[in-house]
Amino acid sequence: MAFTKGFLIGAATAAHQVEGNNRNSDYWIQEHLPHSSFIEPSGEACDHYHRYEEDIKLMAAAGLNAYRFSVEWARIEPEEGQFDEREIEHYRDVIRCCRANGIEPIVTLMHFTSPAWLIRKGGWEAESTIGYFRRYAAYVTEKLGAELNYICTINEANMGLQLAAISRRFRLMAEQAAKSADSGAKKAEGTVQVGMNFKKMMENMKFAAIENNQAFGTPQPQIFVSSRTPEGDALVFRAHQAAKEAIKALYPDIRVGITLSLHDLQAMPGGESYAEAAWDEEFRHYLPFIADDDFLGVQNYTRTQYGPAGQLPCPEGAELTQMDYEFYPEALEHVIRRVAEDFKGDLIVTENGIAVSDDSRRVEFVRRALAGVESCVKDGIPLKGYMYWSLLDNFEWQKGFSMTFGLIAVDRTTQTRTPKESLAFLGSYRK
Ligand code: BGC
C-alpha cells in the first residue's frame, strides 16, 4: 500500500547520536569520566555533521519525504548566554538541504543532551532551567522559524519518571538475586528502551560520584536522562510549555508538540490495576500540560505485560531484539489507538524501530508496524506521519555503537554508508 500524498514517511536521528564531537555537552563529559558507564565514547559518531547531505540524499533517493533530527543546544549555546551564530547557519544548511531534496524537516530542540553549563546550574531539577530553555527555544525559532513547519520541543519528556521506576525495580531485582546480579541487570536494561548499563552504573557509583562532582559540582548531576522526582517531572513539562509559548509568539503557524516514550501496556488477568497505574504515570497525568499542543510525538518500541504481581518478563520463547526487549511491532497500533482516546490533536509517530543484525527482521517489523498505522489512518485517527528510528546505525547512548537500529549501515572507520533493504522498503510506501 502507499499512504496519501501529504503523509510523512521518514526517519529520525538525534544530534549527539550521529553528528560527532559534541564537546560542550554533559554526555561528552560523562563518556570520558574514568568510571564512565558508557562502553565507549561517541567520538566522531557517524560524522553526520559533515555528511548530512549524503544522508539526506540517500533518504530522498529511497522515497522518504520527512526527516526528524535535533539541533544541539550544547553547540548553539556552548556557554551560558553565548549563542553561536555559525551553528545556527549549520542547521539552516541542513534544513535547506532537506527542502532541496523534497524532505520535510521536523526539528527537535532537546534530544537528551544538554550543555554542560546547564547541568552545573542544577540541570533538569532546577527551576532556572525553564527560563534557559525558553530563551534557547526563542533564539532558535527567531533564526530558523521562517523555514520550519514542525518543532518537537523535548524528546521523550517522560523518560525521567520511567528511569526512576526502573531504578527502583532494578535495585529490588539485584537485592533478590544478589548472586545473579547479571541476569537482574539484563532484565532491567531490557525494560528501558534507551541504551543504559545499569550494572556498570551500580558498580561505578562511588567513583562516578567523585568524578561527577569534579566535572559538574555535584555527585549526582541531573542530566535529562536521570531518575526524575515528581517536581522535576512537572518542571520538564513546564519547560515545554514555556518553549511552546516562545515559539508561538514568533511564528504562530509552526506546529509544536512534545514526544513521549509510550509502551503498549497489556494487562493479563489480575494485572489490570498495575497496567492502569503505569499508563497514568507514562501518559495520562501529562494531559493537562499538552492538551492544547498541535501534535503529540508518539514513540513506541515494544509492549509490557502485567500480571497479578506486577510487571511480567517477556513471554516464553519471544523473539528479542539486541536491546533485550520483545520484537512486537503490533505495539505501535495499540499505543496510537489508546493515546487517541485522550489526546485530540494530531499524532505523528516520531520514533519506532528495532535494533537487529538481520535486516529482514527490520523489514518485517516495519511492514507490520505500518499495517497498524494504515488501519489507524483508515479509522480516521489524525495521524500525520511515521518516522522510523533510526536513519543510521548510531551511538546508542551507554551502549555505544553496539546496537544497530539503522536503515543505513555505517562503517565507522571509513564512514562509508551502505543502505539496507529496509530503507528502500520504507520508501516504497511513498510510491
Ligand atoms: C530515544 C533514542 C534512542 C532510541 C532507541 C529512544 O528512547 O529517543 O535516542 O536511541 O529510543 O533506544
Grid cell, residue 258, equals: 512534545
Which of 194, 260, 301 has most ligand 1 atoms within 8 Å of CB, for mutation? Answer: 194
What is the residue range of 411's domain?
8-427
Residue at 2 is within a domain? no
Does some domain include residue 1? no
Q: How far is the CA of 407 from the centre of ligand 1 (A)?
A: 15
Question: How much distance in Å is there from the Cα of 332 to the middle of ligand 1?
Answer: 15
CA of 301 to the centre of ligand 1 (A): 9
Q: What per-residue confidence (pLDDT) applies to 186?
A: 64
Q: Place 202 in a pLDDT band, splitting at 50, 70 and 90.
A: confident
What's the CA-to-centroid distance between 47 and ligand 1, angstroms? 19
Residue 382: pLDDT over 70 = yes
Ligand 1 atom nearest to CA at 156? 8
Per-residue confidence (pLDDT) for residue 352, from 0 to 100: 98
Length of the chain in terms of residues written:
431
Instruction: With respect to residue 100, please indicate whether it lies within any of the assigned structural domains.
Output: yes
Which residue's CA lies nearest to atom 1 of ligand 1? 194
Residue 262 has pLDDT above 90, yes or no: yes
Q: Is the CB of 393 under 6 A from ligand 1?
A: no
Within-domain flag for 383: yes
- For 62-71, 128-137, 184-193, which range has the lowest pLDDT when averaged over its residues? 184-193
Q: How far does the centroid of ligand 1 lie from the alpha carbon of residue 405, in Å?
A: 10
Closest residue (by CA) to atom 4 of ligand 1? 194
pLDDT tier at 76, thresholds 50, 70, 90: very high
Q: Ligand 1 centroid to 270 CA: how many Å?
A: 31
CA torsion, ordered 309, 311, 317, 323, to nearest 10 deg: -160
- Judge contact between 159 and 167, C-beta under 8 A: no
Q: What is the pLDDT of residue 194?
A: 82
- 193 pLDDT band (50/70/90 cuts)? low
Q: What is the pLDDT of residue 182?
A: 59
SS3 label, residue 197? coil
| Strands of 264-267's sheet in order across | 264-267, 303-307, 310-311
Mutate to test the pocket of ligand 1, among 18, 163, 166, 351 (most ligand atoms within 8 A of CB): 351
pLDDT for 173 beyond 80: no
Q: What percent of the chain has pLDDT over 90?
A: 88
Tell me, in angstroms, the distance from the centre of ligand 1 to residue 195's CA.
Answer: 7
Pocket test of ligand 1: the residue of 389, 394, 397, 403 to mutate, having most ligand atoms within 8 Å of its CB, is 389
Distance CA 315, CA 89 (A): 49
Q: Whose Cα sits closest to atom 10 in ligand 1?
A: 396
Residue among 403, 324, 319 at smallest CA distance from 357: 403
Question: What is the average pLDDT across 263-284?
Answer: 98
The whole-number pLDDT of residue 198 equals 82
Confidence at 205, pLDDT banded by 50, 70, 90: confident
Mean pLDDT in residue range 118-135: 98
Which atom of ligand 1 lies nearest, measured to the CA of 194?
12
Give the residue among 49, 151, 79, 165 at the shortest CA–CA distance from 109: 151
Domain count, the chain: 1
Q: Which atom of ligand 1 approaches the CA of 323 most closely?
A: 12
Would the CB of 14 count as within 6 Å of ligand 1? yes
Using the mean position of ligand 1's atoms as its centre, give its distance from the Cα of residue 395 in Å: 10
Cβ 389 under 6 angstroms from ligand 1: yes
CB of 193 within 6 A of ligand 1: the answer is yes
Residue in this structure with the C-alpha cell 518537537, named with its chain if needed = 152
pLDDT at 310 > cutoff 70: yes
Please name the residue whose Cα sits nearest to atom 3 of ligand 1. Answer: 194
User: Which of these is catalytic: 19, 156, 189, 396?
Assistant: 156
Q: What pLDDT is attached to residue 119? A: 98
Is 155 touching ligand 1 by the criterion CB < 6 Å? yes
Question: What values do phi and psi take at 422, rounded to 5?
Answer: -60, -25
CATH of the domain at 205: 3.20.20.80
Closest listed residue to residue 395, CA positions, set 110, 42, 111: 42
Q: Is 156 a catalytic residue?
A: yes
- Quick check: is 3 in a domain? no
By percentage, how much of the chain surpasses pLDDT 70? 95
187 — pLDDT class (breaks 50, 70, 90) = low
Instruction: Look at 431 and 21; give whichever has higher pLDDT.
Output: 21
* Cis previous bond, 180, omega within 30: no
- On average, the pLDDT of the chain sits at 95
118-146: average pLDDT = 98
Q: Please check the confidence at residue 151 and state whether its pLDDT lies above 60.
A: yes
pLDDT band at 2 (very low <50, low <70, confident <90, very high): low
pTM for the full predicted model: 0.96
Is residue 389 situated within a structural domain?
yes
Q: Which atom of ligand 1 is nearest to the CA of 14?
A: 9
* Mean pLDDT across 387-399: 98
The pLDDT score that the predictor gives to residue 206 is: 87
